[in-house]
A and B are shown apart, each in its own frame.
Chain A
Amino acid sequence: MADMTPEAAWAAAMAYKNRPNPYPFFDELRKTPVVHVGGGLYVVTGYRELLALAHDPRISSDTRRLKARRDGVEGNVSEYGEHGTMINSDPPEHDRMRRQAMRHFGPPDSPYVIADMEPLIQKLCNDSLDKIKASGKRRFDVVDDYGYPVPVAVICKLLGVPMEDEPKFHVWVHDFMAGIMDVGPDMNTEEGKARHERGVTSAEAFANYTAGLIQGYLKKPTDCMFSKLVNEDGPDGPMSVREANINANLLLIAGHDSTVNTISNCVMCMLRTPGCLELLKSRPDLIPGAIEEALRMQASVQFFPSRSATHDIEIGGTVIPKGSPVHLMYGAANRDPLRFPNPNTFDPARQDNQHFGWGSGIHTCFGGPLARLEVNIAFETFLRRVENPRLVCDPPPYRQSNVFRGPEHLLIDVDGIRN
């Protein structure tokens, strides 16, 4: 394509019409791996540069720094709350909150919580496929019929969110993703502004909902993560109610939404690659690596727009001025040819695959091990039971969000579902 300005390449990469394939525009942007794209915003699409900045203590994730700016900044994430969750805070608060949450979720204090969920995950996967089998339909949606039900049930069980509330919060999450977790020039249209309004309203309702759950657990403690967060003691103490309210919100959304995208992306990448289905069926030991490769190709969180520079930072032939918002573009850097040979090829046996699909640095995905367990089991079960799956429509229709990017629906035709 003809040379584009960084502004134009950024706008094209973020535009909904390019949601199925923004990568050529990322390649264009990557000609300058750290580049100003207008409005004071810097985006990082080079692998080496992203790796360096993700470990640079002069890069802040505290969105209060962005709120201080008023000029042309895509600061849509302030709706995560005044004080800050794990995702939009810095050390020492970030580190402390992460420890407080991890105490009930993973090592060193709770190393078996995730592994203990394996039977439930397996059952949910089988139940979803049994349901499809019982319906007799030969065409189903990997998102709505398989990819979505499993993670949402798992996270509700873990956190202590009643499944009967799912129809309610499903709508709030959808509006939040579509109206707040979408950045770029589309948001400046009438349609975009309306979407944003709806997103703000839904986010508020959702925040009140999770706060209500926390309140309930303060009164009646139970054996679930939301309850333990505010009731159980530890070296850092229980989480304060205020912090628990907003972190609960984060854990519920982040705890299932991107997992859905990952499951769909695994199936999509596999079915797009001739011979891959047969390879993975005959070599199930390749499945964990194939999942990572799917995340490299199609990062479920393409970037998270919380970061800014606290000092002038010289990198990639540029100086990022102090105070600038900085987006670390995981999805783009994952395709950097300087780091990954044949970057646009899905290679399930790819070696040395240190990708950014889970982020990088201290904010690396908190729920990663749980998500991986879910996706491993979901993908294995799919391969074992679904007969001759074929993509119906490629590219599939995409969700609105360019941050939490994934297929809205992924229709496949099958010959049947094995027992």
Chain B
Amino acid sequence: MSTSALVADAVSSFKANGRIVIVGASLAGLRAAEALRDEGFAGKLTLIGDEKREPYDRPPLSKQVLKGWVPADHTMLPRSREIDAEWHLGIAATGLDRKTKNVRLANGDLIPYDRLLIATGVRSRPWFNKEEAKLKGLFTIRTSDDAEALQKALAAKPKRVLIIGAGFIGSEMASVCRELKLEVTVAERADAPLIGALGGVIGKIAAEMQRDHGVDLRTGVSVEKLEGDAARHVRRAKLSDGTTLDVDVVVASLGSLRNVEWLEGAGLATGFWGVGCDAGCRAFDINGVVTDSIFVAGDIARAPHVLYEYQFMSAEHWDNAVIGARVAAHNMVSLEPDRRPHLLVPQFWSGQFGVNIKGTGVQSFGDEVVITQGSVKERRFAAAYGKRGRIVGAVTFNHGKWLEYYTALIEKSAPFPPPSPGYDVPTDTKPVPAEFPDVRAPTELPTVVLTGHDPTDRGAAFAPARRR
């Protein structure tokens, strides 16, 4: 038999009889399952998720759910088709045995696999002080249960809300608080909101937006202590600027931790930034050898990206989960030369303070920024980021229809600054340093991070924040 006939045989045999296990039953897991069936996979499909609920969409949790418009359990994800899978919901995976090819569950069950997809995503970084973390009225937000609890707390009209961390989610929550006419303080360690993702120049605009809407924004400030009352409910926060705030609700929006603990001992390239995989979603082992049967998708994946010097990119983005899942699914039932790369220009959106902020590319890869269209004062503009004379990212504020023009420029590594538009030219069109913080400086963890060239993550340079 020729090699290509052998390969075709192996693929069709696997599609008919193989066993695929997907660990992680949220957005990436669901879309991978749908894609597998679309690809003609007819074998046994198992999905394992530690949350009890069927897959649901998370972005609405920090917006319409928190606002009280939509109940927290009301964001079930639509499906494109029947999946015909065995579901284990409300049970965590606790270990992976690559020799026997089994996933171990919290209840002791062993789930065998021929091919595995890791899609266990991230969880909220908890408050750093374990005792204070037990206080009532202190929240993190990731799951629908979190959102339900926080929604109730906000609906009870607290006197002041304290949000710790002004990343995208923290800022969105502050915006919702103001829409609910609640007093809100935002404490951000870095010099500006969104600074890790968009740099200080744009961060300054984000800070003005917050203050224009009545947010008590404190930058360069960390929260050193939380104190509770006799009922162990949080009542006071001591800030590093020497002030003490009376607060009834505290939300710690400190970024994410990748759910890699269950993979300890499995010999995969796991670390702080997730599971290292190739551009076709195949996981690397701890020595940098690519595996055949283990794939990664979603928030937990870090994969090399051709547009960014092949650095391993970790992206907590919605479309990274959806499209990565689809590519992983295709590659799980394909062999060379039919495998495809997962190469996405990262995109994000954030609705806050009446402004739709959209981004494309990796802004933090750039060192210069220039306003290319519109008016900063009116919060309607586009800005481009450049590195060594090439465009690497862009952001729009209420100017989203222009974003794909910049995406096309990024895909081509077009010159920076981009050509000026034919109209609506900003008053100042000189590129300036983008003012991204030193990677070692304490700041919120941005949602897209380039983590160097080491597949195994050991070299990934991240210094946890030193408390002042």
Judged by CB atoms under 8 Å, the answer to whether A and B touch is yes
Contact-residue bracket for chain B: 10 to 19
Chain A residues closer than 8 Å to B375, beta-carbon distance: 92
Q: When the two chains form their complex, are residues A55 and B402 in contact, meaning their CB atoms are under 8 A apart? A: yes
Asked if B374 and A92 sit within 8 Å, CB to CB, the answer is yes
Those of B409-440 within 8 Å (CB) of chain A: 419, 421-424
Q: Are B404 and A90 in contact (CB under 8 A)?
A: no
As a 0/1 sequence over residues 368 to 407 of chain B, the CB contacts with chain A under 8 angstroms (1 = contact) are 0000111100001000000000000000000001101100
- Is A361's CB within 8 Å of the partner chain B? yes
Contact of A91 with B419 in the complex, beta carbons under 8 Å: no
A91 with B405: CB separation less than 8 A:
no
A93-137 interface bits toward B, Cβ cutoff 8 Å, 1 = contact, 0 = none: 001000000000000000000000000000000000000000000
A residues in contact with B423, CB < 8 Å: 57, 60, 62, 90-92, 310
Contact B373 A57 (CB under 8 A): yes
A311 beta carbon closer than 8 Å to chain B: yes
Chain A residues, CB < 8 A from B16: none
> Looking at the complex, which one of A56, A95, A310, A311 makes contact with B405 (CB distance below 8 Å)?
A56
B408 at the interface (CB under 8 A from A): yes
Q: Is the CB of A58 closer than 8 A to any CB of chain B?
A: yes
Q: B374–A91 contact, CB under 8 A? A: yes
Interface string of B164-180 (1 = CB under 8 A from A): 00000000000000000
Interface membership of A338, Cβ < 8 A: no
A59 within 8 Å of B (CB atoms): yes
Interface size (A, Cβ < 8 Å)? 17
Given A91-B374, A95-B380 in contact, is the A55-B405 Cβ separation under 8 Å?
A: yes
* A362 at interface by CB-CB < 8 Å: yes
In the complex, what residues of A have CB within 8 A of residue B373's CB?
A: 57, 91
How far is A266 from B245 in the complex, measured between Cα atoms in Å?
A: 63
Assess whether B401 is in contact with A60, with CB atoms less than 8 Å apart: no
Asked whether, in the complex, the Cβ of B421 is within 8 Å of the Cβ of A58, the reply is: yes
Task: Report the bound CA distance from A311 to B418 in whole Å.
Answer: 12
Q: Is A52's beta carbon under 8 Å from chain B?
A: yes
Contacts of A310 in B (CB 8 A): 421-423
Which of B419, B421, B423: most chain A CB closer than 10 A?
B423
Q: Name the A residues within 8 Å of B421 (CB-CB).
A: 57-58, 310
The reply to whether B402 and A60 form a contact with Cβ atoms under 8 Å apart is no
Which of A55, A59, A362 contacts B422 (CB under 8 A)? Answer: A59
A405 to B423, CA, bound (A): 31
23 contacts between A and B (CB under 8 A): A52-B405, A52-B408, A55-B401, A55-B404, A55-B405, A56-B405, A57-B405, A57-B422, A57-B423, A58-B419, A60-B422, A60-B423, A62-B423, A90-B422, A90-B423, A90-B424, A91-B423, A91-B424, A95-B380, A310-B422, A361-B401, A362-B401, A362-B402
Contacts from A to B (Cβ < 8 Å): 52, 55-60, 62, 90-92, 95, 309-311, 361-362
- List the 3 shortest-distance A-B pairs measured between CB atoms, nearest first: A310-B422, A57-B421, A90-B423
16 further A-B contacts with Cβ under 8 Å, apart from A60-B422, A92-B423, A362-B401, are A55-B401, A55-B404, A56-B405, A57-B372, A57-B405, A57-B421, A57-B422, A58-B421, A58-B422, A90-B422, A91-B373, A91-B374, A92-B375, A309-B422, A310-B421, A311-B422
